[in-house]
Amino acid sequence: MLRKIIGGLADIIYPKRCLACKAPLAGAASGDHYVCSKCWGEIKKNVPPFCSRCGRHLKKNNLAKNVCSGCARSELHFDRAFSPTLYEGTIKKLLHEFKYKGKDYLGATLTKPMLEFITEYRLPMEYMDLVIPVPLHNSKLREREFNQAHILGSHIAREYKKEIRLDLLVRHRNTLTQTNLETGERLKNVKNCFSVTDGTAVTGKNILLVDDVLTTGATCSEAALALKNAGAGIVFALTLAN
């Protein structure tokens, strides 16, 4: 709460600047006006053809297989993953501000590419029963004061009038940050770290799992495995970037 009050006072005292490049912004920064048009235009989009598992752009040598080389070597437990942007440049800078500098109000801005992607590529939201954000461990949630996946998921659930559930999937082990780990280490780090609190609530349900970034897919895969072991039907993962 104190962080939000201080942040609000700072917004009044200091001129608004683009949160990506720090250049001055004209007028009040409200709604989606936290990013200058130049930086917004430089966001790298994830474009088709997509890997049929992780949703990354497929290179020519993988087109015949329909899956990227990473997915060909890995067992991922979600049915499909989708990401509208690449984790670099503007998006990487904004996510850093969002997650680590307490700018939770960036959620609406960062959800825009996700909503546009759903519309453009006709993701079957009509068949999704629940939106479930990938949870943080309680200790990390206390430290950060909010779960970025919850904020992104809330905007998506509201737009499509879907039920969002924060109580069904829990992270019962405080894992290391995945940032500096290799692929094999990431898989071991998150193995069996999620559990479902009420299997009857997910049995037969199609679930949209929401997170901020998909790198190796290990975190979303483990979350999807916990949901499927509890009886969930289709589990799609939607992240802002990959």
Q: How confident is the model at residue 30 (pLDDT cuts 50, 70, 90)?
A: very low
* CATH number, domain containing residue 67: 3.40.50
pLDDT at 187: 66
**Same-domain check for residues 35 and 123:** no
CA gap 39, 90 in Å, rounded: 6
Number of compact structural domains in the chain: 2
- Do 48 and 14 belong to one domain? no
For the chain, state the CA radius of gyration.
18
For 97-147, the pLDDT digits (tens) are 999 998 999 999 999 999 999 999 999 999 999 999 999 988 888 888 899
- Say if residue 69 is in the same domain as residue 189: yes
Q: Give residue-wise pLDDT tens across range 56-78.
A: 999 877 776 789 988 888 889 99
34 and 48 both lie in a single domain: no
Give the range of the structural domain holding residue 27, as residue numbers without chain letter: 1-42
pTM of this structure: 0.88
Res. 180: pLDDT tops 60: no
Same-domain check for residues 5 and 107 = no
